Chains A and B, each alone.
Chain A
Amino acid sequence: MNEVSAEVVNPGPLALIQDQGRVGAQHLGIGVSGAADRHAAGWANRLLGNLGDAPVVEVCLGNFRLRFRESTQFALTGADMHWTLNGRPLRNWCSHQAPAGAILACSFTSRGLRAYLALRGGVKAPMVCGSCATSMGDRLGGLYGDGRPLEAGDCLQVSQRAFFPFSQRFVPQKFQRAYGEAIELRVVPSNQFSQFSAQSRRQFFASIFRVAPESDRMGVRMQGRALSVTPENMTSEAVSPGAIQVPPNGLPIVLMPDCQTIGGYPKLGHVYRVDLDRLAQARPETHVRFVLGDRAESQQESLLHTQFFSAQECV
Chain B
Amino acid sequence: MFRLVESGDNAITVYLADQPGDQALARVVSFCAQAREVMAHHLQDLVPSYCSVTLYFDVLRSDFYSVRRLVRGIADRLDTETMPTVTGDPADESGTSVGKVHVLPVYYGQDAAMDMARVAQVSGLTAEQIIATHSTQRYRVYALGFRPGFAFMGETPARLRVPRLEVPRKRVPAGAVAIAGTQAAIYPSASPGGWNIIGRCPTTLFSCPSGEPKVLLGVGDVVQFQPISRQAFLDKGGRLHE
| Chain A residues packing against B (C-beta within 8 Å) | 23-30, 126-130, 137-140, 145, 188, 190-191, 235-238, 240-243, 260-263, 267, 270, 272-273, 295, 298-299, 302-303, 306-307, 310
Contact = CB atoms under 8 A, between A and B. Distances in A.
6 contacts: A25-B45, A126-B211, A129-B208, A236-B49, A240-B7, A240-B11
B63 interface: yes
Given A262-B49, A273-B8, A29 B148 contact: yes
B144 A28 contact: yes
B45 A129 contact: no
Contacts of A23: 44-45, 56
B169 interface: no
A191 B213 contact: no
B145 A140 contact: no
Given A29-B144, A236-B145, A236-B152, A128 B211 contact: yes
Contacts of A262: 47, 49, 143-146, 152
B7 A129 contact: no
Interface string B47-88: 111111110100110011000000000000000000000000
B64 A295 contact: yes
Contacts of B13: 190-191, 237-238
A284 B38 CA distance: 45
Given A29-B149, A307-B60, A299 B9 contact: yes
Given A235-B51, A238-B52, A188 B145 contact: no
Given A235-B20, A237-B54, A139 B10 contact: no
Contacts of B5: 190-191
Contacts of B6: 188, 190, 270, 295
B126 interface: no
B146 A270 contact: no
B182 to A, nearest CB: 12
Contact of B212 (A129, A188, A270): A129
A236 B144 CA distance: 11
Contacts of B208: 128-129, 140, 145
